[in-house]
Amino acid sequence: MSAATAPTILAISVPVDEIPDLLIPAFFDTVIMVGIVMALVLVVGLPLGALVHNLAPGGLFENRALHTPLSWVISIGRSLPFLVLMTAIIPFTRLLTGTNIGIAAAVVPMSIAGIAFFTRIVENSLRSVPTEVIDVAKASGGSPYQIITAAQIPEALPNIVGGLTINTIAMIEYSTIAGTIGAGGLGYIAVTYGYQRFDHGVMIATIVALVITVAIIQVAGDALVRRLTPQRSSAFARR
């Protein structure tokens, strides 16, 4: 049987000169998918991380009754393997998007996982802010909102940007897993052609595209962190 199927496998292999036509649209699907997710992650995860940090003991508005359940919910979203999370919330995804396949369906579990991940990054980054900076901000008469936006976040910005870089790379990884539900992108190409059809040429090209993409994001993120690091003095304290 293997001999009979071998010609079929060879027959469905994509010619080398046609691989770019296959990968380029898939690459842009991945960019769109990850771009939408990271926009949601930044908009929701940054204030949520600041909220969790300041609800904790020693925070600006300490409240254990709110902090404990909120922290548990975030921990659950952060700890579940993405494939398990994606499968578990299929009914919720279908309720929001009307489908459980495609980019729209992938964005929902990716956003939940990404927000939980980034919230923890922001929370841990804010913990590293020296207490002296917060004391100066309080002595200057700043409100909690002013202290968060003008003292805590600017001081922790290099760590937050570094975490955002890691989070973006993780979302690229998750987008490839989402290819198993037909989400499109490079992951779908890898599953359809590399795994199901044993097309090694497409698989290698997909791996190279992913490695290059991740490397560019990592280099750009590291460069931005280095640029921000000398500016770690609090903007609030300089006023």
**Mind listing the pLDDT tens digit for each residue in 172-222?**
999 888 887 777 888 888 888 877 777 788 888 889 999 999 999 999 999
Right CATH for 19-228 from 3.40.50.920, 3.30.465.10, 1.10.10.10, 1.10.3720.10: 1.10.3720.10
14 phi and psi angles, rounded to 5 deg: -80, 130
Q: What is the pLDDT of residues 68-116, one digit of tens each?
A: 999 999 998 888 888 899 888 989 999 998 888 888 889 999 999 999 9
Q: What is the pLDDT of residues 29-71, one digit of tens each?
A: 999 999 999 999 999 999 999 999 999 988 899 999 999 999 9
CA-nearest of 113, 131, 121, 29 to 77 is 113
CA-nearest of 87, 106, 115 to 187 is 106
Q: What integer pLDDT is reported at residue 152 of this predicted model?
A: 92
Share above pLDDT 70 across residues of the chain, in percent, rounded to a whole number: 91
The pTM of this model reads 0.84
CA distances from 126 to 46, 51, 165, 167 (A): 11, 11, 17, 17
CA R_g for the chain: 22
Cα separation of 52 and 36, whole Å? Answer: 24
CA distances from 118 to 50, 75, 181 (A): 11, 11, 24
Q: Which two tokens stand for residue 31?
A: 């960019």
Cα separation of 156 and 80, whole Å? Answer: 27
DSSP 20: H
pLDDT at 235 over 60: no
Cα separation of 190 and 193, whole Å? Answer: 6
CA-nearest of 144, 134, 124, 126 to 236 is 134
CA-nearest of 40, 26, 56, 176 to 114 is 40
For residue 89, the SS3 value is: coil
Q: What integer pLDDT is reported at residue 236 of this predicted model?
A: 44
Residue with tokens 């987008």: 175
